[in-house]
Amino acid sequence: MSISQPIDRNGGPKRNGRGGKPRTFAGGRNFENYRDILIVLLQKELKVRYNNKLLGYLWSIANPLASAFVYFIAFKILMRIQVEDYPLVLISGIFPWQWMSNAIGSSPNVFVGNSSIIKKVNFPRNIVPLCMVSNHMIHFLASIPVIILFLAIYGQAPSPTWLIGMPLLMVAHFAMAYGIALTLASINLFFRDLERLTGIVLNFTFYLTPILYPVDLIPERVRHLIVLNPFAPLVIAWREMFLFGTLNFPYILVSFGYGVLFMAIGTLVYRRLSWKFAEVL
């Protein structure tokens, strides 16, 4: 794979003045080389996480399961929250949130952490956060059997609507996570305290999103405001699909809208700042 080529201010291959084609690669070779870079970076991340296949998988799901157990003790046993099948409510909310939270929480330092390869290899820099979000997506897919196991414990089973709902929700989820990650990764190079601010906002958003509680517990007079939280419609749509086999298309459409918005913002910020990356890395 040859990936030595000049790059333009947007982090992509530099183009000549007339034909507008890359100077080094011809035709579809660009896509193939960028795909190869994405695969190599993704394999590196997955090898680190799942070095020991069994233990790596168990450790990867241990944290959300431990969190769910703590919340079960706190809210169901101690506070006696009246929610039927509360463990299912927790699991169906925590696992989708983990994908979003991990992707956003890791994003501020994703360019800084990969500065060595960014300095040595010429390729579009937005591939790095794309790889990071894809890595967390694969981790989320690996947690689906745990959700199915909990459903079986409570006498339920996956619905055929999962075949439609899973792709739809994953596209919306990925678009939101990648758009936010690209924005934060680009800005953090110039404002290095963004990582701490991101952690604070994520903690605040976690409790405003119906993860630990179903949407029915939100007072009806303010329930319509839930769409102002970009993550709430997405988590609710995931939960309703997992637990009830229903597709909440209004919330899915809202999630797609947020995904398009965040992708547009992320692309704009990246294009405006990427030409300065070499100066600050």
Within-domain flag for 224:
yes
Spatial separation of the C-alpha atoms in residues 181 and 199, rounded to whole Å: 13
Give me the pLDDT at residue 41, please: 72
Highest mean pLDDT of the ranges 19-33, 183-197, 208-222, 234-248: 234-248
Within-domain flag for 6:
no
Cα within 13 Å of Cα(27), Cβ side:
1
Tell me what the pLDDT averaged over the chain comes to. 84
Q: Give the lowest-confidence range in 37-41, 50-54, 116-120, 154-158.
A: 50-54
The larger pLDDT score, comparing residue 271 to residue 276, is at 271
Spatial separation of the C-alpha atoms in residues 86 and 32, rounded to whole Å: 47
**Domain residue limits at 246:** 29-280
Q: Find the mean pLDDT for residues 79-93.
A: 91
Place of tokens 């919306």: 172
pTM score, two decimals? 0.83
Within-domain flag for 19:
no
Give me the pLDDT at residue 1, please: 42
The percent of the chain in helix, strand and coil, each rounded to the nearest 5, is 75, 0, 25
State the Cα torsion 278-191-99-124 to the nearest 10°. -20
Helix, strand, or coil (residue 214): coil
Within-domain flag for 12:
no
pLDDT tens, position by position, 226-270: 999 999 999 999 999 999 999 999 999 999 999 999 999 999 999
CB 61 within 8 A of CB 146: yes
Domain count across the chain? 1
Helix axes 127-153, 86-106, angle to 10 degrees: 170
CB burial string 97-128: b at 16+ within 10 A, e below: bbbbbbbbbbbbbbbeebeeebeeebbbbbbb
C-alpha 3: how far from its chain's center? Answer: 27
Phi, psi dihedral angles at 15 (to 5 degrees): -110, 150
DSSP β-bridge partners for residue 13: 7
DSSP β-bridge partners for residue 7: 13
Q: 239: exposed, middle or buried (C-beta count within 10 Å: 0-12, 13-18, 19+)?
A: buried
Question: Please, which pLDDT band fits residue 94 given cuts at 50, 70 and 90?
Answer: very high
Phi, psi dihedral angles at 22 (to 5 degrees): -60, 150
Within-domain flag for 7:
no
Within-domain flag for 3:
no
Within-domain flag for 14:
no
CB 96 within 8 A of CB 173: yes
Spatial separation of the C-alpha atoms in residues 29 and 185, rounded to whole Å: 27
Within-domain flag for 1:
no
Helix axes 86-106, 53-71, angle to 10 degrees: 120
DSSP β-bridge partners for residue 53: none
Helix, strand, or coil (residue 13): strand
